Structure 1
Amino acid sequence: MGLYRAIFYRLVLAVVTLLLLSVIVFAGCQILPGDVGRAILGPFADARAVQALNHQLGIDRPLLVQYWSWISGMVRGNMGMSYTYRAPVAPFVIHAVLNSMKLAAIAFILVVPLGILGGVVAALKANSWIDRTIVIAGLSATVVPEFVSGIVFIMVFSIWLHILPLTGTAPRGAGPVTQIYYLLMPSIPLFMILFGYIARMARAGMIEALHSDYTRTAVLKGLSRRQVIWRHVMRNALLPTITVIATQCGYLIGGLVVVETLFNYHGIGSLIFSAAKAKDFPMLAAGILVIGTVYVTVNLIADLLYSALNPRISFGGSR
């Protein structure tokens, strides 16, 4: 019952967080520069036509009325109508989220095992040339912006070597293998950014666990080095790494505007950016709330993994 109560408590906090996010998103969209009707009809449209369109879209209503109409529709699953496309928002957002999830999955499959492996090896070989090489390589890759590494990889792998395609968007009707092939190029800059974070956290957790009392006790009991590492050290060393991985999930799904633009990939990041430029409030707000939901869900999953890896950690927090 304590576990269920804690999960219910976290779900309530998640709802409150998303509600506050909705208020911030609505307020932020209201202060975006420009006029919606003017953005849709163009700079040379008649002022009366712009005013009539704004009235038709309901933009001239009181702010509280607009917010209630929008948020009540979101709760019912109605994301509204796009100002730009004059079509329901949901199909655009769902398609963009699925695309971003595909790219995030490829990047995670590459970076999570290799990042953890790099951190573990660096910790086991602490203060050696292997440790220094992994740490320096990870830090160097982390500080390089995605658009810089992306351009370099395009020049090398696409233009010079002709190994990978320029774009991340596979042809229509392409199979899973072809889609993965097209997603390899945009996933490489993401790998470069995240490898250093994950490797450093895994290294720090491993070093701390290797010098802990329970590790010394396991060694004194006569367990082999392999048993100590797999049964005792790794289980506790992964706890800080899970936090880093969880926080990067939201970034991989919603923060890839630069990568998606550079590789002409239609994900949720590029969709939100386009909606902001066009003052397409329903599209913009729905996309941001979806990303917020992803963040909240991933953090809840991270808490569950914390509890599974270390039962001594109270899932209910410090209540």
Structure 2
Amino acid sequence: MTRMILERVMLGILTLFAVSVLIFAATSILPGDAATAVLGQGATPETVKAYREELGLDRPAIVRYGDWLAGVVQGDLGTSLTTRQPISDSVIPRFENTLFLAGFAALIAVPLAIGLGIIAAINEGRLVDRVANIVSLGAISVPEFFVAYLLILFFAVKLGLFPTLATVFPEMGFFDRLYVTILPVIALIMIVTAHMLRMTRSAVLSVLSQPYIEMAFLKGLRRRSVIMQHALPNAAAPIISVVALNLAYLIVGVVVIEVVFVYPGLGQYMVDAVSKRDLPVVQGCALLFAATFVAVNALADILSVAINPRLRRSRH
């Protein structure tokens, strides 16, 4: 088990290194010039040249990448081109806001999706299963921003039950924060629950096709008992993978929702940086998103192996 954890950690580090190269390369080849974007179109060529030298943009890309990576390893994401402030000071509170939004949604979506997925698997082919499939497929098919705007239209504009903008600040109380973020959380829950429901149902049904499950049915056990006592424990590993994938999506994929509700999270911060061409901020946010995604998936792999002893034996 210790060896497997070390392998996952090393694989995660190598993955992040590869992702850091892609992030830096992608932001470096973007059209336009960061110095011109910061100074404006009215800046003289001499001013732009001096500013580029001040920011180090005149140096070769490989040198700039090495300096950036060395700073990241030490916990320094660099300095914002627009505010001239350390990026870490702005990223940390915004990332905490993103984690709060994702955690609030996950607290409701995970048990709801797993429960509905199991119920749909128990009642395969029946009305409950058909309704769950139709509703979940419809929820997946609708874009996130469209769901968000519908929620704003009905619950904020017409009914006036919730605010249109999810504005939070450090001094805000916990319950006030829950009230303000309820609409973006509902939008996230609708999408994530639909994905997890369908994948949980598929994981349970795939286990039901195994020979030992068929033998349990031949013994005369009820379908509910077979699923709860035999199928579900063995379907725990794929279900954990499903949950981890969607939790990573909640954290990484909240960018659209944060922009729609003007929520001061990491996604909104990155979008603002893109519009201002603040490349160090974009790089730092993207790397933090990638690190979160890799960490969540690595944790899911470890939990899957820990829960299912057969996976541990298969590695020897």
TM range (shorter): over 0.9
After superposition, what is the alpha-carbon deviation per residue over 1:5-53, rounded to whole angstroms, capped at 9, x for unaligned?
Answer: 2211121111111111111111111111211111111111222111111
Q: Is the 8 A contact 2:168 2:180 kept in 1?
A: yes
User: Which residue does the alignment assign to 1:122?
Assistant: 120
CA–CA distance in structure 2, aligned partners of residues 277 and 90 of structure 1: 19
The Cα shift of 1:264 comes to 0.8
Aligned length: 316
AA in 2 matched with 1:132 = R
User: Which residue does the alignment assign to 1:18?
Assistant: 16
Q: Is the 8 A contact 2:196 2:246 kept in 1?
A: no
Q: Is the 8 A contact 1:153 1:185 kept in 2?
A: yes
User: Which residue does the alignment assign to 1:259?
Assistant: 257
Q: Is the 8 A contact 2:236 2:304 kept in 1?
A: no
Which of 156, 159, 169 matches 2:157? 159
User: Which residue does the alignment assign to 1:243?
Assistant: 241
After superposition, what is the alpha-carbon deviation per residue over 1:106-163, rounded to whole angstroms, capped at 9, x for unaligned?
Answer: 1111211111111111111111111100110000011100111111111111111222
Which of 141, 144, 149 matches 2:142? 144
The Cα shift of 1:255 comes to 2.3
AA in 1 matched with 2:119 = V
Instruction: Check 1:61–1:296 CA distance in 2 against 1; reply closer, same or farther (3 A cut).
Output: same
The Cα shift of 1:221 comes to 7.4
TM-score, normalisation: structure 2: 0.93
The Cα shift of 1:257 comes to 2.2
Q: Is the 8 A contact 1:254 1:268 kept in 2?
A: no
User: Which residue does the alignment assign to 1:113?
Assistant: 111
Q: Is the 8 A contact 2:237 2:305 kept in 1?
A: no
AA in 2 matched with 1:14 = G
Gap runs ≥5 in structure 1: none
Aligned positions of 1:35-46 closer than 5 A? 35-46=33-44
The Cα shift of 1:194 comes to 1.5
CA–CA distance in structure 1, aligned partners of residues 206 and 22 of structure 2: 40
User: Which residue does the alignment assign to 2:286?
Assistant: 288
The Cα shift of 1:210 comes to 3.4
CA–CA distance in structure 2, aligned partners of residues 97 and 126 of structure 1: 41
TM-score, normalisation: structure 1: 0.92
Q: Is the 8 A contact 1:253 1:268 kept in 2?
A: no
CA–CA distance in structure 1, aligned partners of residues 127 and 224 of structure 2: 22
CA RMSD of aligned residues (A): 2.1
Which is worse superposed, 306-315 or 207-216? Answer: 207-216
Name the % identity. Answer: 37
Aligned positions of 1:1-319 closer than 5 A? 3-170=1-168, 173-217=171-215, 228-314=226-312
CA–CA distance in structure 1, aligned partners of residues 242 and 223 of structure 2: 27
The Cα shift of 1:249 comes to 2.5
Instruction: Check 1:31–1:318 CA distance in 2 against 1; reply closer, same or farther (3 A cut).
Output: farther
AA in 1 matched with 2:307 = L
CA–CA distance in structure 1, aligned partners of residues 109 and 77 of structure 2: 34
The Cα shift of 1:218 comes to 5.2
Gap runs ≥5 in structure 2: none
Q: Secondary structure at the match of 1:314?
A: helix
CA–CA distance in structure 2, aligned partners of residues 297 and 152 of structure 1: 33
CA–CA distance in structure 2, aligned partners of residues 248 and 32 of structure 1: 30
